[in-house]
């Protein structure tokens, strides 16, 4: 079997990053860990018994996260990033195909295909809204419907009533909430009513731990029990788990940074309202074919193939990075558009 080259596909516009480039291409947090938290992480790491295997469930992070979310930890599975959990989910459900709603996060389709499913695309409409009627009209043989809210790369959220309409069919639904903190809106509470719902979350965005690779899935206890059967025994290493614990213990810093990103997102959107779609995430989709110009001016953004070939996705950076972006974009609009 010939497998798609995911590393190449996920690398985006250009594979490498140049030294000194402003990175606004991968929806990461632009903030490094504050020094005092780095010290705390290092202090805790030095006490780990690295000669021992980690706890199979990721304890004590799993319990700590449960307490933070106000959920029983039996409703949580930790993963080596939420990407890993997506691959587990594709092994969990029986069916011939999965449904995705592009443009959306490419990993659902890529790993769905690798797992042997056909991938049915029900594209978002011209306003980037779900075509819920089309999704629900034919769910025969569907193993799972993958939704993303806020959606990467469009930035809009899945309306709760549309989600419920799909859940009511009984088909498994994976709701990826990787960016939910920036929207301040979640549907995770629906796991109590719908055991066909799995919500995915990550420490890679608002928590600023993309390099540590920590994600989690939330679902009804029975669903999580099944997911735990698929999970590799030691999927989450002790080092990453410890870093995530430190961030949870210092959540005030995370919260403050979310506020700053949301403020900066709105500032950039205000500057380019004519071109930037509204966003509830830490990035903005812009109707400008400016990736190459920005790249030439030291700013990396994400460009796409069809149907978004004339658009860019810009991750919100630190204030000074955004100032630079705004300045370069103003020049682009003067030079290229007039």
Chain residues that interact with ligand PMP, rule: CB under 6 A: 27, 81-83, 105, 148, 152, 176, 178, 202, 204, 210, 215
Name which of 85 and 328 has its Cβ closer to ligand PMP: 85
Query: Least distance to ligand PMP from the beta carbon of 136, Å?
Result: 22
Q: How many residues are there in the chain? A: 338
Nearest partner of 61 among 86, 78, 38, 43, judged by Cα: 78
- Exposure string for 136-170, b = 16+ CB within 10 A, e = fewer: beebeebbbbbbbbbbbbbbbbbeeebbbebbeee
Ranked by CB distance to ligand PMP, the top (closest) residue is: 81
Name which of 40 and 83 has its Cβ closer to ligand PMP: 83
Name which of 27 and 171 has its Cβ closer to ligand PMP: 27
Helix ranges (H only) for the chain are 6-10, 35-45, 61-69, 81-92, 107-114, 132-137, 160-167, 180-183, 221-230, 238-249, 251-271, 291-296, 319-332
Nearest partner of 175 among 200, 194, 152, judged by Cα: 200
Query: Least distance to ligand PMP from the beta carbon of 177, Å?
Result: 8
Query: Least distance to ligand PMP from the beta carbon of 10, Å?
Result: 8
Query: Least distance to ligand PMP from the beta carbon of 330, Å?
Result: 28
Taking the C-alpha atoms of residue 104 and residue 178, their distance in angstroms, rounded to an integer, is 12
Query: Least distance to ligand PMP from the beta carbon of 276, Å?
Result: 18
Query: Least distance to ligand PMP from the beta carbon of 238, Å?
Result: 18
Other beta carbons within 10 Å of 236: 29
155 φ, ψ (degrees, to nearest 5): 90, -5
Name which of 76 and 328 has its Cβ closer to ligand PMP: 76
Name which of 286 and 328 has its Cβ closer to ligand PMP: 286
Name which of 73 and 82 has its Cβ closer to ligand PMP: 82
């Amino acid at each position: 079997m010939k497998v798609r080259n995911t590393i190449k596909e996920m690398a985006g516009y250009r594979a490498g990053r140049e030294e000194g480039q402003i990175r606004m291409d991968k929806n990461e947090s632009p903030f490094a860990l504050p020094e005092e938290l780095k010290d705390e992480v290092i202090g805790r790491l030095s006490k780990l018994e690295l000669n021992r295997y980690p706890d199979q469930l990721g304890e004590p992070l799993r319990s700590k996260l449960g307490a933070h979310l106000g959920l029983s930890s039996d409703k949580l599975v930790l993963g080596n990033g939420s990407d890993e959990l997506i691959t587990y989910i594709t092994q969990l459900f029986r069916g011939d195909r999965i449904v995705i709603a592009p443009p959306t996060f490419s990993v659902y389709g890529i790993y769905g295909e690798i797992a042997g499913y056909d991938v049915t695309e029900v594209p978002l409409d011209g306003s980037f809204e779900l075509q819920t009627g089309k999704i629900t009209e034919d769910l025969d043989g569907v193993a799972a419907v993958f939704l993303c809210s806020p959606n990467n790369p469009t930035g809009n959220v899945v309306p709760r009533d549309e989600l419920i309409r799909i859940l009511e069919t009984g088909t498994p639904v994976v709701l990826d909430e990787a960016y939910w903190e920036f929207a301040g809106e979640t549907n995770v509470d629906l796991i109590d009513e719908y055991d066909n719902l799995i919500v995915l979350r990550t420490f890679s965005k608002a928590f600023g731990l993309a390099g540590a690779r920590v994600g989690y899935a939330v679902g009804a206890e029975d669903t999580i029990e099944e997911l735990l059967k698929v999970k590799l025994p030691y999927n989450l290493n002790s080092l990453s788990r410890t870093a995530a614990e430190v961030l949870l213990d210092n959540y005030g810093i995370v919260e403050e940074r979310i506020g700053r990103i949301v403020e900066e997102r709105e500032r950039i959107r205000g500057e380019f309202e004519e071109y930037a779609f509204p966003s509830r995430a830490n990035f903005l989709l812009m109707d400008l074919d400016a990736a190459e110009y920005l790249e030439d001016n030291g700013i990396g953004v994400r460009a796409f193939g069809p149907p978004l070939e004339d658009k860019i996705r810009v991750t919100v950076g630190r204030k000074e990075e955004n100032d630079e972006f705004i300045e370069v974009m103003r020049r682009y609009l003067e030079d290229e558009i007039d």
